[in-house]
Structure 1
Amino acid sequence: MDDLAWETTGTGIEYRCPGFDVRRDDVRFPGGADGEYHYVDEPPAVVVMPFTPDGDVVVIDEWRQAVGRVNRGVPAGTVEPADEADLERAAARELAEETGYAADAFEHLITVEPSNGIANTVHHHFVATGCTPTADRNLDHNESIAVDVVAYDDLLAGVVDGHRRDGRTVTAVTQYELTRRQ
């Protein structure tokens, strides 16, 4: 596959903003031509599918400016530098911050690169079990989030019928359904 690889000859940040940067790489293509490639450069994220002791799922409704609507999905957020070596700790932190819930246990579900044609994003998905409300939420200044609890089958139905469009949620539910649900 080395004959497909591009050589990066230089790199720089074109634009910085909270949460991500837009990076420009100077590249040499396999045929020898030079060019540029721009992409979203952002830290890894955790995605949590939180189950209550009754088997329901804690979900969030969050305003998503990029699509101009409220989006229902599972909690997710950026892995802080202090949590890079402990992704479960990052998942627990995001769950508590966004929902006020804590989990008895976390299990890694899948790691994906959801949009590797335009971003270097990596999402680490976890299933959290035994989730109960135990803490105050700690939302970022730019988060508008409401918390709800729904039956897993209702969340699954929303994924199947296209009403749940958040890619992180679709990935988590689909992977869970294919590999964990009995």
Structure 2
Amino acid sequence: MTDDSLSWETKDSAVAYSCPGFDIVNETVQLPDGTETEFDYLTEPPSVCILPLTPDGEVVCIEEWRQAVSRVNYGLPAGGIEPGDDDLKAAARRELREETGYEADRLESLVSVEPANGFTDAVVNFFVARGCQPTAAQRLDRDESIRVATTSLEELTDAVADGAIRDGRVVLALSYYRLFADDRGD
């Protein structure tokens, strides 16, 4: 569903700022009416987010400090694709293992989304991990502060519904799962 009369033409593009994990790109663009202007956006590699379920149906969650909002965030294991990852499922398995110490019997693709395509080209690929069990110690990155916690699917759903959980990845993963996928079951 493309309407070419709405498209912008990129005249020039350069990385304005770069740091580990993402870049800020500055573009000179021409709008459909011929006006030239600047547009900045965040660019980053694809990432994964995992909804991990134990054999008894508990959800493996993480509690992690988030500096941007100055609080501990109750969330799901997530992270970017790394050079050693063969594919998205390998990245999801790695992130689950590193952040929680859990491994899954099965991994199913849930959905892929562009969570904020007005200012970033980010794509988050969501997975459901089934049969998750603790198998090893966490292997956190130097800038990660994470505690592992488990909760029921119902408690997690209630926390999203009452606004106690504000992390968009949790809200989206859980909502999509509850609406379209949880009838697949174990």
Same structural fold, with TM-score higher than 0.5 when normalized by the shorter chain: yes
1:143 aligned onto 2:151: no
**1:81 positional shift:** 3.4
Q: 3-state SS of the aligned residue for 1:3?
A: helix
> 1:129, 1:103 → 2: CA distance?
6
1:169 aligned onto 2:170: yes
Please name the residue that 2:92 is paired with.
Answer: 91
2:22 alignment partner, one of 20, 32, 46 = 20
> 2:12, 2:93 → 1: CA distance?
37
Unpaired segments of 5 or more residues in structure 1? Answer: none
Please name the residue that 2:6 is paired with.
Answer: 4
> 1:20, 1:110 → 2: CA distance?
22
> 2:61, 2:93 → 1: CA distance?
15
Q: Write out the 4+ residue segments of structure 1 that deviate beyond 4 Å after TM superposition.
A: none
CA RMSD of aligned residues (A): 0.9
> 1:154, 1:62 → 2: CA distance?
19
1:1-182 matched pairs, under 5 angstroms: 1-83=3-85, 86-182=87-183
> 2:9, 2:138 → 1: CA distance?
45
The letter of the residue matching 2:100 is T
**1:82 positional shift:** 3.7
The letter of the residue matching 2:40 is H
The letter of the residue matching 1:179 is F
> Which sits farther off after the overlay, 17-26 or 59-68?
17-26
Give the total of aligned pairs. 181
**1:155 positional shift:** 0.5
Q: 3-state SS of the aligned residue for 1:26?
A: strand
Deviations 1:133-164 (A, max 9, x none): 01221111111100011111100111111111
